[in-house]
Amino acid sequence: MAKHDSHRYSRFHVPGHAGKVPSQEDERRYFESIRRLDFTELEGLDDLHAPSGVIDEAQRLAAIAFGAEESFFLLNGSTVGNHAMILGTSSPGDLLLVQRNCHKSVLNGLMLSGVRAVFLMPRIDQQTGLMTGLDPTLVQQALQQYPEAKGLLLTNPNYYGMGTDLAAISQMVHAHNIPLLVDEAHGAHYGFHPDYPPSALSALADVVVQSTHKMLTAMTMGAMLHLQGPRVDRTRIKRILSMLQSSSPSYPIMASLDLARRNIAIEGHRLLDNTLQHVYRLRKWIDETTPFRYIKPGMDFETLDPLKISLWDSTGTLSGFELMTKLRHYGCFAEMADTRHVLLHFGLHTNEEDLIRLMEALTAISLDAFSEKKENSKASENIYAIQPHPAISIPVSFGLPVERVASPTQLRIPLTKAVGKQSAEMVIPYPPGIPVLYPGETISEWAAIYLQELAECGATFQGLKHVTEFGIPIITPDVENK
């Protein structure tokens, strides 16, 4: 592409900006150079939907780098990869085993496909109250209980970097001769350095989706889907990807995927090592000189991504949301917060300057904050002690939203009165985008309390801005029978 850019020529084709220099200063500053790469499918530039040239070559190099047999560039994030993973392996009415704390794109994929899901509850980490990964014993049990399952779809690592023993699960799933489908959105950097957890591909997962933009250096929406082994129909997955992805895929994002691959393949070990030294230093400093703690390897998960530091205030003064706000005042933008933790994401390019700014911020916050000790702090409560969802759910089938919620004037009732009723919508705190309630799911006491907590701490919800103010939409018998 850079080669194509260096040619002097006139563009009588899309995109309409024609690679020309924008006239407005603000547009020029950001878009001038990238516009020169913003092409369409010209001679020599290949075609993502029928690759045989440079895109084919870039995808082959990606397969080699990540250890897959075939790799595909995704231009609509891991979202489209998760959709393709479901639509490409199961037909309407088929049954998939699905880890419950999956990303909303997995649930949307189930809705789009008409595939039935049996949800498997992950383990709950006793130390933090967070949902981690699947227990291999539970997987074994589910495989025996549902021998008709077409595959197991799990998320590894979770948003906090916690992971499970993939190799053990992979072996079990393969013993039933069905594929293991892994949403590895947060683990594209795995497998390139011995001090990081192993990759899903190295655990022989059959389909793996990675957000190359999250932990590696691609542009946002750049992701990959990797395939190996004989258990999935590759032609079908390719066709589904071609159906779902734009017929005008972004060349800048494709180029950034290729560059991110080159970056991790060639410089990965050195960069990962470098960041690890920063992380080790930071951890030591936090332990020795601050009241903050961070999630450490625990009993209820097997692997932990060293590049995710989930900070919490051991004095119980600051909630996760409060700590995140304070960090922002000192110029440190975190990935997300929950009621207790602030999640800090370290990348391949985290440097000394970032580290010092963070240390200074934490020092200042601990001096400031703990002088104003609060009375009714919620930060130290563990709301997860309540009984969660069943370990293995009964098969659930989702329709598209409209089939579930027949009327736009659906009933909303206060959260406190919603226990025992069926939720009409997905309720998704974002980030991390993991639904707490599914459409049609009976609202448990646990879920109601958890949502109340999140709302009080200032969490935002997608599609449902004011859970506490306007209540929660539920399915009433009337609406259901329409």
What is the CB neighbour count within 10 angstroms for residue 416? 12
Residue 31 interacts with its own copies (CB under 8 A): yes or no: yes
Given the complex with its own copies, which of 220 and 314 has the nearer CB atom? 220
Residue 144 interacts with its own copies (CB under 8 A): yes or no: no
**Cα 229 from chain centroid (whole Å):** 24
With b for 16 or more beta-carbon neighbours within 10 A and e for fewer, the 343-362 pattern comes to bbbbebebeeebbeebbebb
Residue 354 interacts with its own copies (CB under 8 A): yes or no: yes
Considering only 294, 438, 450, 461, the residue that binds its own copies (CB under 8 A) is 461
**Cα 462 from chain centroid (whole Å):** 15
Phi, psi angle pair for 158, to nearest 5°: -80, -175
Residue 374 interacts with its own copies (CB under 8 A): yes or no: no
Considering only 161, 179, 249, 320, the residue that binds its own copies (CB under 8 A) is 249
Residue 326 interacts with its own copies (CB under 8 A): yes or no: no
The runs of H, that is alpha helices, within 36-159 are 54-66, 77-87, 104-113, 136-145
Given the complex with its own copies, which of 32 and 287 has the nearer CB atom? 32
Residue found under tokens 């009984």: 387
Say how far apart CA 348 and CA 473 lie, in whole Å.
Answer: 42
Given the complex with its own copies, which of 43 and 288 has the nearer CB atom? 43
Instruction: State in angstroms the smallest separation of the CB of 178 from its own copies.
Output: 16
**Which of 28-36, 139-147, 173-181, 384-392 is the region at the interface with its own copies (rule: CB under 8 A)?**
28-36
Residue found under tokens 């990606």: 62
- Nearest-Å Rg of the Cα atoms of the chain is 23
Residue 357 interacts with its own copies (CB under 8 A): yes or no: yes
The footprint of its own copies on residues 85-124 (CB under 8 A) is 87, 91, 103-105, 108, 111-112
Say how far apart CA 24 and CA 217 lie, in whole Å.
Answer: 28
Give the sign of the dihedral formed by CA 125, CA 199, CA 144, CA 97.
Answer: positive
- Is residue 121 within 8 A of residue 261, CB to CB? The reply is no
Residue 270 interacts with its own copies (CB under 8 A): yes or no: no
Given the complex with its own copies, which of 251 and 301 has the nearer CB atom? 251
Considering only 245, 303, 366, 422, the residue that binds its own copies (CB under 8 A) is 245
Residue 27 interacts with its own copies (CB under 8 A): yes or no: yes
Considering only 63, 65, 68, 80, the residue that binds its own copies (CB under 8 A) is 80
The footprint of its own copies on residues 426-445 (CB under 8 A) is 430-431, 433
**Residues 6+ away with beta carbon under 8 Å from 365:** 318, 323, 326, 327, 330
Residue 132 interacts with its own copies (CB under 8 A): yes or no: no
With b for 16 or more beta-carbon neighbours within 10 A and e for fewer, the 376-413 pattern comes to eeebeeeebeeebbebbbeebebeeeeebbeeeeeebe
Residue found under tokens 């449902």: 464
Instruction: State in angstroms the smallest separation of the CB of 62 from its own copies.
Output: 16
Helix (H, G, I), strand (E, B) or coil at 448: helix
Residue 7 interacts with its own copies (CB under 8 A): yes or no: yes
Given the complex with its own copies, which of 42 and 204 has the nearer CB atom? 42
Given the complex with its own copies, which of 167 and 265 has the nearer CB atom? 265
Given the complex with its own copies, which of 83 and 123 has the nearer CB atom? 83
Residue 218 interacts with its own copies (CB under 8 A): yes or no: yes
Instruction: State in angstroms the smallest separation of the CB of 33 from its own copies.
Output: 5
Given the complex with its own copies, which of 136 and 197 has the nearer CB atom? 197
DSSP 409-444: S-EEE-GGG-TTSEESS-BEETTTT--SB-TT-B--
Instruction: State in angstroms the smallest separation of the CB of 210 from its own copies.
Output: 11
Considering only 64, 243, 385, 386, the residue that binds its own copies (CB under 8 A) is 243
The footprint of its own copies on residues 157-216 (CB under 8 A) is 189, 211, 213-216
Instruction: State in angstroms the smallest separation of the CB of 94 from its own copies.
Output: 11
